[in-house]
Amino acid sequence: MAMDSKTRLLTAWSFQEPDRVPIEMALAPQAEGLPGAEEIRRFVETEADNFRWVPGFDWGFLGLDNTYSEEIIEDVPGKYKRMQRTLETPVGTFTGLTRHNYDDADPNDFHWEKRYVATLEDFRRLAEAPRELRSFDATQYNRGCAEVGNRGLPCTGLLHPLGVLVRQSTMDEVYLWMVAEKRLMLRFLERCTEQICASLLAIRGKPLADPPVFMTYAYEMLIPPWLGQEQFNQLLFPFDQQVNEAVHQLGGRHRAHCHGNSGQFLELFADMGIDSVEPLEPPPYGDNLLAVAKRQVGKRMLLSGNGPSQVFHLASFEPREARELVKQAIEEGAPGGGFTLREAGGGPGNGKTRAQQIKSIACSLVLIEAWREFGSYR
């Protein structure tokens, strides 16, 4: 008997075999209208098994209330524009500067010329800032869950202070602060962790339509080549373990996004309480050998991904070759449940040029057909 998407994902996440391997897929918005895009869109709406975002916490800017404004400070028609972004917070102003090239296929893509947390004084203001409980909008959360229904699982955002700091800071500086300003860094992490855990536990007892699935986008900047295991053990493990314990007290789960060489950290991820990880990039884009990952943590975390869609953009790659990549991923990941198939390097329509977008869609259509061929448990 066919399962709906929600049941299929929950069954796989219970480390049992559903009716078929769940498949995650989302069409890049900028790909609408390209050849094959409509077929992908229909598949996403009617067959794909997606984690779908719903509102929940307002985490502000690294846990602080803020008001945002932006201003175009330079515009060269046909080439680029530069934009100043301003955040006003209780501990002062933070400004960023971005450059947007008009010839990018993805209009949301841009280059940071200056990030918000650019100096040690900027970081000190964040580390010493008074912190209060963050609000959770249960009404909007429940409304979002109702809209998702059985077409997937609702998920919502979880603040990861170190991951956000790295992305919103001058990166060479923040890694230096981890060493040269370690006491200040620990102070920042301790205060943020206390705020996050208290905010999570404050929603216990609220009538929530679904147990929360919290998402973070942090770890790819906190593993090699950026941080080694010693720094990971000191600056992530104890703090993230506390947060995950609070998530689990709510009956919730934590799903982590992590590109790159995450394979060597999967057991640490599981030990500190992460419940699912994606996109599990295989070599040469990462170090995730799916058969190895299944042996190590296949009954502790939902493993998602391993379809190396980075190769879809290569001139030498033929769309028909995607079939064998899907077959291998399903053979290694599917037994016993605990696996969802997804593209590891961006979904259909992803690409810097129109030609790359069109080829990505063509390969994704082959991926779908291969999933239909190999993805059934029965």
Q: Are 44 and 26 in contact (CB under 8 A)?
A: yes
Instruction: Tell me the pLDDT of the chain (378 aa) as tens digits.
Output: 799 999 999 999 999 999 999 999 999 888 999 999 999 999 999 999 999 999 999 999 999 999 999 999 999 999 999 999 999 999 999 999 999 999 887 777 899 999 999 999 999 999 999 999 999 999 999 999 999 999 999 999 999 999 999 999 988 899 999 999 999 999 999 999 999 999 999 999 899 999 999 999 999 999 999 999 999 999 999 999 999 999 999 999 999 999 999 999 999 999 999 999 999 999 999 999 999 999 999 999 999 999 888 888 888 899 899 999 999 999 999 999 999 999 998 889 888 788 999 999 999 999 999 999 999 997
**In the chain, domain spans:** 5-63+132-374, 64-130
Of 12, 72, 6, 28, give the one whose Cα is nearest residue 276.
Answer: 12
Measure the CA–CA gap between 19 and 256, rounded to whole angstroms.
Answer: 25
Residue located via tokens 């070599």: 283
Which of 332, 196, 308, 293 has its CA nearest to residue 254?
196
Rg of the chain's alpha carbons, rounded to an integer?
A: 21
In a 3-state reduction of DSSP, which class is residue 15? coil
What token pair was written down for 29? 């918005």
In the three-class reduction of DSSP (H, G, I as helix; E, B as strand; rest coil), residue 62 is classed as coil
| Helix residue spans in 135-236 (DSSP H) | 138-148, 161-168, 171-180, 182-201, 229-235
Could you tell me the sign of the dihedral formed by the alpha carbons of 294, 366, 345, 29, in that order?
A: negative
Type and span of the H or E element at 269: helix 266-271
Looking at this protein, which amino acid is placed at residue 216?
T
* DSSP H or E segment with residue 360: helix 354-374
Kindly give, in sequence order, each residue whose CB lies less than 8 Å from that of residue 372, ignoring residues fewer than 6 positions away: none
- Residue range 5-63+132-374 in CATH 3.40.50.150: no
Beta-sheet strands, E only, within 61-182: 67-76, 80-89, 92-101, 111-114, 153-157
CB 124 within 8 A of CB 184: yes
Q: Rounded to whole angstroms, how far apart are CA atoms 88 and 70?
A: 11
Could you give the CA distance from residue 246 to residue 244 in angstroms, rounded to a whole number?
Answer: 5
Q: In whole angstroms, give the CA distance from residue 33 to residue 36.
A: 8
Render 308-362 in DSSP notation, one character per residue.
-GGGGG-TT--GGGHHHHHHHHHHHH-TTS-EEEEESS--TT--SSHHHHHHHHH
Is 258 in contact with 287 (CB distance < 8 Å)? no
Q: Round to whole Å and give the CA distance between 371 and 20.
A: 9
Residue count (the chain): 378
